[in-house]
Amino acid sequence: MKDSAHRFSPDDYDQHGLLRLPLWFWSVLILQARTWILFVMAGASRDQGTGLLQLFYPDTQRFWYGMLLGLPAALAFLICGRRQHWPRLWRCWRWVLALSLVAALLGALHSLWQQGANEPLLDSILALSDALALGYLLLNQRLKACFIPPEELD
């Protein structure tokens, strides 16, 4: 990885000497934390919160499954700003996010298989989005470099 530091311009680094996280990474986190985001929106809308949750998660088991799978992304929002303080944790967090995406993808595919022809559009879109996010998380060179401590990039 020694030559990867030469692929990035000085503008790609923040004040701590870390590579800035790409915009698409934030999209991946939002996708993964979608149940958490919906939960916060439902809490903020007070009167319609229960209806909102029932609309997207009529089965409460799927809601809790989504909360569990979204936990790594929700925690990533918290730790990414302090990744220079926890380099070992940050380095392995990419793999935690990837495992969470694999589990979400398998869950969406299982749901599609169980549903048959009953309203598979949303689950199909989510499965495709999870697969694309997983590919981005595993294959994007710049994002991979963001999870490597700066001293190893030099």
In this structure, the number of other CB atoms found within 10 A of the CB of residue 86 comes to 12
- pTM for the full predicted model: 0.86
Q: Identify the residue with better confidence: 126 or 116.
A: 126
Judged against a pLDDT cut of 50, whether residue 100 lies above it is answered with: yes
When computed from its CA atoms, the radius of gyration of the chain, rounded to whole angstroms, is 18
13 bridge partner residues: 19
* High-pLDDT (> 90) share of the chain, %: 52
The alpha carbon of residue 81 and the mean position of all alpha carbons in its chain are separated, in whole angstroms, by: 15
SS3 61: helix
Averaged pLDDT score across all residues of the chain = 87
Instruction: Return the structure tokens found at 79.
Output: 């730790």
Residue pair 143/22 in contact (Cβ under 8 Å)? The answer is yes
Residue ranges per domain, the chain? 2-153
Give, to the nearest 10 degrees, the angle between helix 121-139 and helix 87-115: 150
Do 11 and 43 meet the contact criterion of CB atoms below 8 Å apart?
A: no
pLDDT digits (tens, 9 = 90+) for 40-90: 999 998 788 888 888 888 888 889 999 999 999 999 999 998 888 898 999
